[in-house]
Structure formats: structure tokens, C-alpha cells
Amino acid sequence: MRLSAVIPVYNEADSLRELHRELTEVAAANGYLMEIIFVDDGSTDASWEVERELAESDPQVKAIRFRRNFGKAAALDAGFRIARGELVMTLDADLQDDPHEIPRFLEQIENGFDVVSGYKQVRHDPWHKVLPSRIFNWMVSTLTGVRLHDHNCGMKCYRREIFEEVRLYGELHRFVPVLASARGWKIGEIVIQHRARQFGQSKYGFFRIFKGFLDLLTVKFITGFGQRPQHLLGGIGLAFFAFGGLGMTVLAIWWCLSRIPALGLNPLNIHETAMIFYVITALLLGTQFLMVGLLAELITAQNSRGQSPYSISETAGYLKHHDSSADQNV
């Protein structure tokens, strides 16, 4: 079994040697050919010196150092790009993820899952980290339909092929299972042991929930309307048009009826009615949403050239004996 362990590091010098020892121990006990990839995300402590020392003493260790802190998603993406294992494990560097859980992740992969996420059912974190995490997990599961108890868990296992279709940027590392599920990959979850932090302090707090919510909206748009943005933006635009058109019709009928003396209605001065401003605003917003939707469709069409909007699981018969580039031309 060829396995890659990708570990983002930010100021975790005290825990790296112990983490390396545990990973090496698990690999030896289970017969894994495991490469360990440390990605230093701009640490300001001695983390890089420790990573470099481990890389020099162990040929299975690789280390990458960023010039500054670019974020966890960037660190994971850099690790995924050089990973050579059939499967890729991600772990946090703070020793709260237990490497001895790795065989259980691989068992689930063998059972047919493509992504297996950890679930820290019993957590050893302060409330200001646990509470926003639970709120965030509920929002993600509700809005995306990918029902995991712990989307934030850093311990996950992936088939490497997933990262040929899913690219990370911004803060989307939390949503890899959601993005993979949108492409048809099978997602699983297991309960794992969560250990108390031994060194350092958490890099996350309560206010990350706001950034997470914005990222969630991005992911919802990508997975739901990434190939058809006009369905969302144009739909909103048509709703505004419908409101504006209805309001304009009501005002026109009201104005006409107020000009009939027999009805005894007070003459309507449309320009003095507040509704006319609401109607005009709705029509303008409708136009803007439709135009933005058309522009989004043009951008999507340009960016989609050479990329397939689907994911192939396997082939049989004639296609099985041809390479993937030939498959695209059949």
C-alpha cells in the first residue's frame, strides 16, 4: 500500500518529531510504504528546522516551506501536488489527530468509499472552538446535503485521483468532501479518537464561523450552479422583473381608473407615489442580475473548454484498452 501523509504545519515545532515517530511506527506495523509530506505554512518558530532535520534523516520525508503564511488550503494543495501515494491522508500537526487511526480509514476505503472523514465525537477543545464548529457543521450539512458530523476535522483519507478534479483555493479545504461528492465520489465517515493538545495553542477561534459561512456560499454556488450560473442569477433577475412588472401594471391601472370621474377616485400622481421607486428599482435589479448571469455563462463556457463537467468511474470493453486521452476523442 503506497500512502502519502500530507501535514500542514504552522508553528508546531514541539510536536513534529513525535508525530513523525508515530507515523513511522504505524507504517512499519502495517506494512505501508508511506511518504510523509510536511508543508510549512510560513512558521515563525523552529518548525522548518525540525522538518528539514527529519527530511535529511528519513528518505520518506519531504518538506516544503512557504515564504509566508498562505493558509491551510494552499498548504494542502501544495502537498497534494507532490503526493505519489495511491491514497492521501491529511493530519493536523498538533498531535490531536492519532496516526494509529490510519488503518481504520484505509479499511473504509477498501469498503468502497473514495473519501473518509474523521468525526471527533468527543473533543478536547475549548468551547469557543467547539461551538462555532458545531454550528458550521450543521450549516454545511443542511445546505449541501453532504451530511458529515465534522466537516472541520483535519484527519481525512482520499483517493489521489480526486485531486485531478478538485482544486483548492481560498479556504475551501473544509469542503473537499462536498466538492468531491458533487463530482460523484462516495463519501464516508468514522468516529476517531481526539487527543488533547500537548503543545502550543489553537490557530482558530469563534470568529472563523463568519469566514466559513462565506466560503459555504461559494461552495454552494460552485456545486449547485457552477456549470449553469444563469439558472440562479437569471432566476433572481426574473423574480425582480416579475415584481417590477406587476407593480407597474398596478400603477397603470390605478392611474387610468383615477381619471374616470364616475368612480370618484382621487387623481393619482405616479411620481409622488413611493411604489414607483420600488418598481423602477426592481426592474433595474432584474436587468442587472440577468446581465451578470449572461456574463457568468460566457466565463463558464470559456473556462470549461478542455474540461469535462462529469467524472468517469471506470470503463469496459473497447474503451478499457485505450488511454484516457483517446477516450476523450471517441
DSSP 93-138: TTS-B-GGGHHHHHHHHHTT-SEEEEE-SS--S-HHHHHHHHHHHH
Cell (9 digits) for 209? 464561523
* b/e per residue 232-249 (b: at least 16 CB within 10 A): bbbebbeebbebbeebbe
* b/e per residue 104-141 (b: at least 16 CB within 10 A): ebbebbeeebbbbbbbbeebebeeeeeebbeebbeebe
Q: Which residues of the chain have pLDDT under 70?
A: 1, 124-129, 169-170, 199-209, 212, 224, 226-227, 264, 300-330
Is 158 within 8 Å of 114 (Cβ atoms)?
yes
- The DSSP letter of residue 194 is B
Q: Which residues partner with 187 through β-bridges? A: 115
**pLDDT of amino acid 200:** 62
Report pTM: 0.71
**pLDDT of amino acid 22:** 95
Could you read off the pLDDT of 278-307 as tens digits, one per residue?
888 988 998 888 888 788 777 765 665 555
**pLDDT of amino acid 263:** 72
Cell (9 digits) for 4? 502519502
**pLDDT of amino acid 229:** 76
Task: Give the integer Cα–Cα distance in Å for 65 and 63.
Answer: 7
Task: Give the integer Cα–Cα distance in Å for 179 and 162.
Answer: 10
Is 154 within 8 Å of 88 (Cβ atoms)?
no
Greatest extent of the chain over all pairs of C-alpha atoms, in Å: 99
> In what side-by-side order are the strands of the sheet with 187-191?
61-65, 33-40, 2-9, 87-90, 156-159, 115-119, 187-191
**pLDDT of amino acid 125:** 66
Task: Give the integer Cα–Cα distance in Å for 303 and 307.
Answer: 8
Task: Give the integer Cα–Cα distance in Å for 31 and 35.
Answer: 13
Measured from the Cβ of residue 99, the count of other Cβ atoms closer than 10 Å reads 22
**pLDDT of amino acid 326:** 43
Rg, C-alpha atoms of the chain: 27
Pairing of strands 156-159, 87-90: antiparallel
DSSP 15-71: HHHHHHHHHHHHHHHHT-EEEEEEEE-S-SSSHHHHHHHHHHH-TTEEEEE-SS---
Is 162 within 8 Å of 114 (Cβ atoms)?
yes
Amino acid sitting at position 214: L
